[in-house]
Amino acid sequence: MELSAKVKKYFNIGLRFLFAMLAFWFIYEQVFRSGDYSNFRNEISVRLQDADFRLLLIWATLLMPLNWGIEAFKWQLLINYVEKVNFLSAYRSVLTGISMSLFTPNRIGEFFGRVFTLKLNDPLKGVLLTIAGSISQLMATLLFGSVSALFFIKAYIGFTEPWHRFFFAGIVMLVVLFSVLMVMLFLRAPRISAGVHAFIKPGWKRIHEYIAVLQSVSRRTLLKVLLLSLSRYVVFSTQFYLLLRAFGLEIPFLSAFMLISMVYFVVTAIPTVALLDLGIKGSVAIYFISMYFTDKAFVSTSILSATTIIWIINLAVPALLGLLFINRLTIIRKQAADGI
């Protein structure tokens, strides 16, 4: 039965309110209820007395708009294939997506949070393009992570036997092959999508329309999206490095970048629910980054504090900002054209 316009309006308002409450609850759970908040608060209070800490914290915070600005530009390039949006609208949609992503497994709510701010009668087309952008970001993590793994193996896993050199050379070749193949598949996605048409029944009009959306994205756009994803990766890794330095961890940038890349590399492979996300990242960060230091117990608190702060800067704050635009969400809308 078709819902009236008035019922849809109130239903959308109710859903917006629910999403806002869930976002507030999740941030409260992560920041104030998880772990030892009193010790974290006391450490921050002490650190704030240090001018160097304040300066590094400010720099890390100032990189947050750049981080999500790159993501917004990347999403704008893709979503323009189904609906023209300006950069400011794309930025607002990205922030709204962050708000919805906090309480969903592996942050899948981000796809729908962005798309439901658009006017599309068929949001799934927008979701497919949003997923394409997320795949490019995943590729950036895998590319940096796999290359960093080579340096990590060399630095932290001793090779004593002669055959180890041949084993390592084999790993290098696999990483290079994997990286090249991954990039080629991503850039050839439109042509691969075109080939899928032959295997889909002609009568399945809707599926052909969805495939056509991916097929319409040019290789040049995909290359730009991939380069933006790599750039964004460098930005949020630099934020992490600045916060490690802010908490007194003296570590060269390249060494830190390698270990930070290993953290993101491993965390990406771990499926998580939202309430465990920060704890898992903190544990993985402590495992890898503490390897650089002799006194691992001493640095654990600083690493965990840096991980918590970057979560607040890059997720909690943008999510709260995204709630300012949650009134743009339209979950229940006009029915799309006939289905399959």
Domain ranges, ordered by start, for the chain:
5-328
Q: Report residue 88's pLDDT band, with 50, 70 and 90 as the boundaries.
A: very high
> 335 pLDDT exceeds 60?
no
107-126 average pLDDT score: 77
pLDDT for res 202: 56
Instruction: For residue range 315-325, list pLDDT tens digits in order.
Output: 888 988 888 87
Q: What is the mean pLDDT of the chain?
A: 80
Encoding tokens for residue 156?
A: 């932290």
Burial of residue 61, with CB atoms counted within 10 A of its CB: 0-12 exposed, 13-18 middle, 19 or more buried: middle
Q: Report residue 99's pLDDT band, with 50, 70 and 90 as the boundaries.
A: confident
> 189 pLDDT exceeds 90?
no
> 223 pLDDT exceeds 60?
yes
202-228 average pLDDT score: 77
HEC sequence for 114-140 = HHCCCCCCCHHHHHHHHHHHHHHHHHH
Closest to 305 in 3D by CA, of 35, 89, 8? 35
Rg (the chain; Cα; Å): 22
> 186 pLDDT exceeds 60?
yes
Distance CA 305, CA 309 (A): 6
On whether the CB atoms of residues 279 and 254 are closer than 8 A, the answer is no
| Number of other residues whose CB lies within 10 A of the CB of residue 162 | 7
pLDDT for res 215: 77
CA torsion 102-103-104-105 (nearest 10°) is 90
pTM: 0.83
Q: Report the range of poorest mean pLDDT among 8-22, 126-140, 252-266.
A: 8-22
User: Which DSSP symbol is given to 200?
Assistant: S
CA atoms within 13 A on the CB side of 24: 9
Q: Where are the alpha helices (DSSP H) in 29-162?
A: 37-47, 51-79, 87-101, 109-115, 123-156
Q: Report the range of poorest mean pLDDT among 20-24, 129-133, 333-337.
A: 333-337
Residue 17 or 269, more confident: 269
pLDDT for res 338: 42
Distance CA 82, CA 122 (A): 10
40-66 average pLDDT score: 89
**First CA to last CA distance, the chain:** 19
pLDDT for res 1: 44
> 63 pLDDT exceeds 50?
yes
> 113 pLDDT exceeds 70?
yes
pLDDT for res 336: 44
pLDDT for res 228: 97
